[in-house]
Every structure is written in structure tokens, then in C-alpha cells.
Structure 1
Amino acid sequence: MFKKKPQIKNLSPLRSSDRRKLADQIIADYKVHVPTLQEIDPAAVAAEGQASISNPTPALSSVRTSLVPETCLSARFTTHAGPSSTLVSGTVYVGAHPGQEERILWIQYGKDARLYPTVYTLWHNPGIVPLLHTPDFVVEKLRSGADLMTPGLVGGPPWPENAKEGSVIAVAGLEKLSVPIWVGICKIDVSSLGRVQGSKGAAVEGVHWEGDEIWNWSQTGSGGRAPPERIEDWEPAVESVKEGVRELNVDDNDEDDAHEEGGVALEPSDDAVQHGAEANGSNGVHEDAAEPEHEPSTAEVDEAFVKAFIYAIYNAKQDSDPPHYGMDFPLQPSFVVANMIQPHLRFQNQHYTIKKTSWKNTKKFIKHLDKTALVKSKDRNGGETVILDIDFDDEQIRTFTPYKLPKPKTTSTSTNGSAQATHGSGDPSLGQKLTLQTVYRASSKLVPDLIPSKTTFYTSSQISAFLKKYIENNPSLTTGTSSPRFVKLDSFIANNILSSNSSASDTRTLAIGEIARDALLKRILEDSHLCLPHWLLLRNGQTYDADNPDPSLKPKSGPPPHVNIVLEKRTGTKVVTRISGLELFGINPHLLGPELQKKCAGSASVGQLVGGKPGMMEVLVQGDHSDVVEKEVGRRGVDKRWAIVDDKTKKKKK
């Protein structure tokens, strides 16, 4: 919630009575245990009688101080949160635990009177909320503002019995099991869940986490405090999950479809990345391959992937010339899967995917090929592993025997005879013809002497025709000029056009007393005080007629639209590609997302564009796939000039 920095007003101290009420409210809401006198000193109870059991004890004061320190301050705050950047207001409570600097300890916002603890409070008050666990790579996704999905829960069943719908919970990673670093609200009854593998939907909605602006706040501006390595009093809450955690192989899930920026992860396709270059050469026979009668073992899937890779190299040697046989090195992982592995797999079903192999992801698969000396690989682009070279004379390739390949997926043939994949036929933006046209609205300085109306939009050719007509109607402008290309300056040109901008070039022109015709036209079109530019996006042969404008075509002011393709690093080394600005070109992000997922052979998600207008979506793809994105939006009519690539992974020059 606090990805954006909140505006916190002046802090003011809490009165002692208000502090006690606040602490008592927290004790009641979170059912914080306050030790009784019998628990503290049974001998005193025996001496004073049973009536003393329920009397207030010094422990209550200690618990209050631990939750809400005596020097606690409060302040109102406002921030924008959520996919729609909704304005949120509330109160923060700031205090300092012994020996530590002041931090925000509690948050209250909206109409909800409940107070939410920050990680600083949880580190100092173990056990006040249920503690859930998730793999560390999921924690990194949570830090980006995503919700915790049900399949991301580990360590149960059983789950903490207090983790019910609407309750506040804490989340810790597997590296530091006893250190909560994320706070959220249960959206479902987690306590009643069984096994979560295969489940769908969000389990916990995020409120605050280690690394957000609330964690980062301090009066001295020193930034957030790093979490401790372990918290002993939280240890009892994690004993039940340690055994399950030991068996969890986090590395096998490093490419799972996690939810980024609140986006919805796209379901992986069983036949992902079927398209690409035609890789079944003359030696491959497209016949129905017999489906396996049983689910293959991991070793069988491994062998199928290696054989498919070798088959691709074998075909390349048959169809192209040495030394590289038509391959453009380095080979990206997405290219290896989409164009080499998938088209050459003996079986095309849900059992033969990279997740079913012993490597689990393409990076480890390429590393395995490197170990066998079949390829030479290298880690590049933020940890992505590429193939630099292939040993085309390897024994496995020379002795390879082609096998029958399954028939390609059903295709539909277009009028020009080219085959198009059926998955793309449902996207109306595919094959559309787009044209960006600039039109101008004249200012009152040009009306009516040069241009007839200041409410009508004109093209540059129309304005050129108006200027030509003006010159023809005033023969004195062309008499006695140094060249037929020049015109003299009359009072209208000098006062209404050249005087609108007191630049040095205009001053020189006024002194000379004449100006070239093309320079005069350029001067009119490029000065926004004379002609305000607007843009139109014309689809599939549309034209704009200024005399009889189409009501559906409304020129828009400002710079022309463009597709933003941003490359940036996430979680330290991993590179992601973010694509936005698609809607203005008639491209549906929810249709493009699955297509990019298949083309790039990686996970993709679609979510609200951060900082954008409500409804403006953003597609996020794992890895550097700017070339693939440019090609795909190009297929949808977006010219390369309208696609802007911003590579934030490169170091800025000093």
C-alpha cells in the first residue's frame, strides 16, 4: 500500500490517557496476553487470596509500553494507493523502543478503526499476529506491491488457527523463518485450508512490508532499519513449518508465474511457444506420433528435450551452410525453447514441458548442454544464460536419426496464402493498418487573413495551399525579390507571423525584408502560438477530411502516442520487460500478454499501469524481450518510430 511516499503532517505527542486507551484497544483487538499475578507470583496469590488473581499487575503497564511507547507521537497522513491511485488518509503512530530510533509503529487508515502493526512492532512484540511463510522469491514479488496468492503459502497444513478471513497476519521468508517482513489482511480463511498446490486466488492482501515508504520513514532521514537475523520469541510459531521447509526446493520454482504490480499471472499453456520459425525440415515427417500410454518419467522428459535440441541442430545442418548453419549467435533462451525445442519434441502434451524436466528452467537446461560440451554458454543480461556456440560436429549430432514428429497445430490460411496460428485469430488488432496524422488548429493571428477558421483542423498540405493562395492574391509579395522562391514581408507576415516569436532568426528576417516560401510555411507549422498541432490515429485506410470531418475522428492535442517498452532489473539481477501505451493503438493488453508469454517462453502478467489512468494496463514479461515486443506490436500496426525502448539496466554514463 505504501509504495508511494505518504505526506505526513506535523507530529504531536499523545496524552498519557490516550496512549493507555490506544494500547488497551490493541490488546483487545489482537488478544494480547497480559500475565496475571498468579502467573507472575503464585506465592503472592496464596498469601493474599483468590481475589488478587484478577487485579491489574505491573505486567499490564509493561505490555502497554511495549506496544505503544511512553513517548509515542501521532500524525495524520495522506497517500495514493491501489491500481486506481485512490487517495487514502489516516494516522500513523511513531515511537521508539529502548535503545532504538523513532519509527512508525502503528498505522490506521480509512474508515477502519483497527490499527495495523508495522514490522518494527512485530520485531519487538512476537506472537501478536499469526505468522505465515512463503518462499523468498515470492517475498521479492510481495515487496513490489503484489498480494500473496494461495499457492505461495508453505509450511501447512495445519495453518495458524487465528489466520481467518479479515484477520491481520505477518509473513516471513524461508531464509529467516522467525523474522516477519510483510503485513497483510487475510482475504480467505487460511486456517481451514488443506494443501494449497493447485489452488487459485489471493490469500492475503498486502498493507505494509519491509522496504516500503513506511519502513523507510524516520525523522532523521536515515532510512529503514535492516531486519534482525532471527527473533527467538517467534521461534515457537515456526517449529511446525520447519520440517516442510527443509523439503522445499526453492530453486525449482524460480520461474513460477508470480503476480507483479497487482497484475494477474497468466495461466501457462500446455502447448506454449508452438510458433516461431519453421523448424521441421525435409527430414522430419509430420505424422501422428503415438501418445505415451502413461505419464513419462523425469528421465524420459529430459531425454526428449535433449533429442529435440539435437534434432533442431541436425535440421539446421541439412538446410543451411557452415560455419553457423543459419544460426545467429548468441541464442537467447526464449529462442532455444520456441524455435528449437518445442517444434522438435516427439510428443506435444502437458507432460513434456520444461517444468517436468529435472532442470525445471531453461537456464539450467542450457548449463547441462554446456557440461556435455555440446554448446558453449555464458551468463548475460542480468543472469540470463545464452548459447555462444554449438559443436556441430559432435558425435550426438553426426549419429542422430530423425524420428516422426506430430502434426502441427491446426492453422487457418489467410487470403494471401500465409498460415496464421489459431491463437492469434481472435485478436482484432493483428494485421491492422495504422497511420498517425498531424492536423493543426490555427490561432486568431492567422484568421481570417490566411486561414478561414480557427475551430477547424487542417492538414499541413491544406495550410500550404492557404499560404500559396494568399501569395497569389497579393502580387506585390513576389515583385522585386532576390529569387522566385522568396516573398516580401508585408504587415500581416511581419506583425502576425514573425512577431509571435522574438528569435534571432526572425529578427534577421525582418531586417532583410523577405523570406523563403518553404521557410515561411515551416515557421507557421512549427510555432504552437500560430498553429497548435493535434494528432489522429487512422485505422485501416481511414482518411481525415477537414471539410467534412468524421465525428468519430476527434483530433487530440499533445505529443503523438507511443508504446513504451521499458527494461529494468527486479530483485537485484533479473530483467523484466514492461509494455504500456497499448490501448491507444487499439491493442488489448489481455490478448497481447498470453501471446508474449508464448513467444518469449516465460511468464507474463497484465496489471494496472502504475501512475496511469484507471483502466490503462501494463504487460510485464520476465526477461529482456524488447525485440520480440517490437515485432509483435509491429504485427499490430505499430511503426518502429512509435515504439520507444528505455533500457534502465544499463549503467548511466557519468
Structure 2
Amino acid sequence: MFKKKPQVKNLSPLRSSDRRKLADQIIADYKVHVPTLEEIDPTCSATEVQAHQASHNPTPALSSTRTSLIPDTCLSARFTTHAGPDATLVSGTVYVGAHPGQEERILWIQYGKDARLYPTVYTLWRNPGLVPLLHTPDFVVDKLRTGADLMTPGLVGGPPWPEAAKTGSVVGVAGLERPSVPVWVGVCKIDVSSLGRVQGAKGAAVEGVHWEGDEIWNWSQTGSGGRAAPERIEGWELEIADIADGVTRVDLDDGDEDEGQEEGGVALEAPAAASQEAAGVDNVDEAPPGREPTTAEVDEAFVQAFLYAIYSAKRNGEPPHYGLDLPIQPSFLISNLVQPHLRVQTPHYTIKKTSWKNTKKFIKFLDKSVLVKSKDRNGGETVIVDIDFEDDRVRNFSPYRLPKPKPQAATAANEDNQTASNGGSDPSLGQKLTLQTLYRASSKLVPDLIPSKATCYTASQISSFLKRYIENHPELSKNATSSRFIKLDPFIANSILSSSPSISDTRTLAAGEIARDALLKRILDDSHLCIPHWLLLRNNQTYDPENPDPALKPKSGPPPHVNIVVEKRSGTKVATKISGLEVFGINPHLLGPELQKKCAGSASVGQLVGGKPGTLEILVQGDQRDVVEKELARRGVDRRWIIVEDKTKKKK
């Protein structure tokens, strides 16, 4: 859950009474055994026990247990983060404390509407036996650290399984190399304790919440990073021999394939396919990259993606509509419900490649399948007015692993995780952007005019090189008609004006001279002489061509821009589409809700049609170009970098 860095607000100390209540809640929820006076001192008389109970003072064992779970110096703070395939905003509370001789760490997490507290690995390392401990092969642990769920066939060491590992129970997971050290915390999605043989089973057994290596583990007030796990922890009730026997009992020759993988299920790459199945891995059923899918395959992918979206909404939302605003427009259906949940993100998987060809017929198909109820509106638009969330296809749906985003999207996500200077949840707010145009010279200009063709130079530097060249060749200024003009020499005539001659170049050659500013413009405008590059600098970044920063690498081609398209949709309705935001460090998932508030209308975020996988587009109702430009300006985007296309005007 915590792959992205949470925004933790200011920490505040807990009162002693609140700390005791919190510790008692944990003791009750996790059924922590607190020794009684009789267990501590068998010689204690009944009179002494009654006297102690009447005093209402905690026993030494209870005080010690409370302090072990919630240290005396415990602090709390609210946090927010984005989790899940839809980047849903999640808020909650973290409890920070330090055990003797150790640095402060996040010990407990409480999020959403669930009042339950989830322990972090630091708490489990300090309190052996707090939760049931499950085991899985170490190469599966590596995949779990990427945010995947633990599939049922990945469990080893049973049966029998821990009796407390029932549906909804919090469990820890350890690898086989260090079986006494939990490195992953999750919640049981099924009753693990009642399982028998798990090889060949389908579905996820445990849903991940937190693990060693995520942003909660990495958090510290001093910024020192996470603390490595110990090699061994005394106190966990383990039967190592039974675990080893469970591994040997894994049937690697089982030929069944798991087709119903849950969301984020572990996918193993290094081990062989037989080992993958033994570890509980469901492979993503993707079409080979060189083969175009059939129409039936695209149809099935669209239906599965819609079921996935409804299944996710039902898991994360509240009835009756589970967070979905009805009626659902056709554009919202494709961009927010279908495209993000397709198991294959390629240009072959579009509505045009289906047998329906358009969204209206796709909605009609869902209506005939009794999954939704649709209605035709004026203008020929068909919308979804109701969804059957209790349909067996939704309740029994088995989520699959969605494709990983491309590096461009990953880069934008990493930038979004950085803390904004203004302390807001959107790190792009208040940023200062500078779009710098650079030029890389071709071999025609090197070394006579420009010293190197491997370095990118600014326009002013190229102007200086040209000025120096003219100064080193005084014959160019002699007998010119004006001080603004220079005579042509063989280098200028052959290397510059003859690179891609035009009518103006022919006239210049015939005249035998050219204006200085016209020559500079001729050099910069000709891509055969100077190849344009661009570099986007953020906040206080600077770029020195003489001593370039390796982290700042100019990119070839024209400078990037934000596209704003205003067009008519379904009759007379107008919508505004915004794309090209990621390169400027703007997260569409954060800007979309902001535009929805500013424009007082619906806004959706989805895959850009025809764009690279991971490139997103925001769709806002109405002509909102002015509002969008103001919001982009708040995020450092200059008006010159925005291209507005109005498709609502009639063509002449």
C-alpha cells in the first residue's frame, strides 16, 4: 500500500491516558496474553490478588506489555497518500515511537474508516507472537516487496496452518532463509487456517499492507532511512522442520494454471514456470508483442476490464453506488473504467478494434448482459443509469495484475512523491519552470565556427561564436554596403547557405553579402546545421554548457507543450481535454479533482487515446480553457507552452 511516499503532518505527543487506551485496544484486538499475578508469582495469596484488583493499579506485566506495544514517548500524526491502481486518496494516522536504544520509527498504522491498528515490521520485531506468522519462498518475498499480494499456492509450511490466520486477520510473512523474521504485513482474504493442500489453488490468500522496504519502513525524522531486519528473532513459535517439510511437499509438476489472479498477484520472472506455479503465481495473459489480437480477444479484454473496475469500486467504496457518480457518460466509461483496467495496454486494445466499434454499442451489450441499465438521451447519447453490483460475475471476479507503467509515467510519479515546498499535497503547485532551447552543431560548422559537435549551446553562445568568427576574418567586413552586412566567404557560402538552399539563399549568393542577424537566424533555423534540443529546468536549476550537470540531459526535438482541445461531444455538449502534463511534473490524478472543483463539473482522468501507455488525459465538461490556463500557471507552465485547439468552430 505504501509504495508512494505518504505526506505525514506535524507530530504531536500522546497523553498518558490516550496511550494506555491505545495499548489496551491493541491487547484486546490482537488477543495479547498478559500474565496475571498468579502466573507471575504462584505463591501469591488470594487476599493479595483481591487487594491488587481493588486498587485498580496495573500489574507490572500489563505495564510492561503496554510499553512494549506503545512506548512512553509515542507521538501521533495524520497522513495522506495515494494507493491502489486508481491512485485513491487514503488518509489515516501513524503512531511513532522509539524503543530503548533505538531511533524513532512508525510502529502502528491506522487508515480509512477501519478503527483497527496495523503493526509495522518494527513492532513485530519487538513483539514476537503478536500476529500469526506465515512463510513463503524468498524469491516470492522479493516480489511481495513490489506491492503484490501473496497468492494461495505461495504458502509453504502447512497444513496445518496457524489457527489464528482467519479471514480478516492481520498476519506477518517471513521467508525461508530467515523464518523467524517477519518482513511483510498483510490481511488474510481467505481462511488460511482451514486450508489443506494449496498447490493448484487459485486466488490471493493475503493482501499486502506494509513491508520492509516501503515508504513507511523508510520514514524517520532524521531522514536516515529504514533499519535493516535482524538475522534472527527469539520468541516466535516456529517449527522449522515442518516448514522445510512443507516445501518438499510442493508439487512442482502440477499442470494447472491459475487464471484468476488477484490484483497485484506475485509474478515471478527469474524462476522456471514450474517454480512460479509452486509459489502461487498467476501469469498475466498477454498477447505476444508481435501478434495482433483477434476481435474476440479485444472484446473479452474490454468486458473483463469493466468487471475489474466495478469489482474495485465495490471493494473501496460505499453502497449504494460505491463512489461512482451515475449516470456514467460514455467518455468516462472508456477513460476511467475500461482503459486503466485493461490487462494489455497497446494500441490494438481500443474501442475501434472491438466488434462494437463504438461506446454506445458497448453499453448496449452490457445492458443486454444484465450488468448495467442504460438510457438513450436526446442527441443520441447513451449513458449508464444503474449497475448491478451484486451480479455473480462481479462478486466472483478474480483480479489480474495490471501492466506496469512506462518509465515516463514512473518518472512523473517519482516527482509527485517529493514534498512540495509549500507543504501542499500537490508538489507541482508553486514550482518555477524554465524551458531552455539548446542547439547541437552538425559537422558542417565544426570546428570553423563552433568548437564541438558533442556539446549543446544556447543561441547567445552561437551568436558569440559567429561574432568571433567575423572578428577573426576582417576581410568579411571590408567593402560591405553597411556595417550590418558582411561579405560571403567559401565557408559561409558552401557550408551554411548551400546546406539546404532556398530562393532567399540564391538571392544572397548572387548579392555576395548577407546581414549579420539574418546569418545567425539562418544557422539556428536550419536543422541540418543546428539540431534543436530542449531542457526543462525546475525551481533553482541551472545548466552550464561548458560544465554540464550529468543529471540534466538535453532532449532532441521541439520543446514540449500542453495540449488543450475544446470539442463538441454527443450533440451540443462541449468538453475540454488536457494532455501533455507529465513532462512538466504535473500529476493528472491530482490536477483532475482540482479542475472538477474549479469548474463545478465532472472531470475524469484516463489513458490518452493514441498516446504512449501511461500517458494520461484529463476530460472536463464545458469550455474550461481559461480555468485550465490559470491552474497551469499556478504550476509554473508558461502561456507560450500551451497550445489551444478549438474544434467547436465551424470550418470555413
TM bin (shorter chain): 0.3 to 0.5
- Select the structure with the greater relative contact order (CA < 8 A; seq sep ≥ 6): 1
Relative to the length of structure 1, the TM-score reads 0.44
Relative to the length of structure 2, the TM-score reads 0.44
> Greater Rg, structure 1 or structure 2?
1
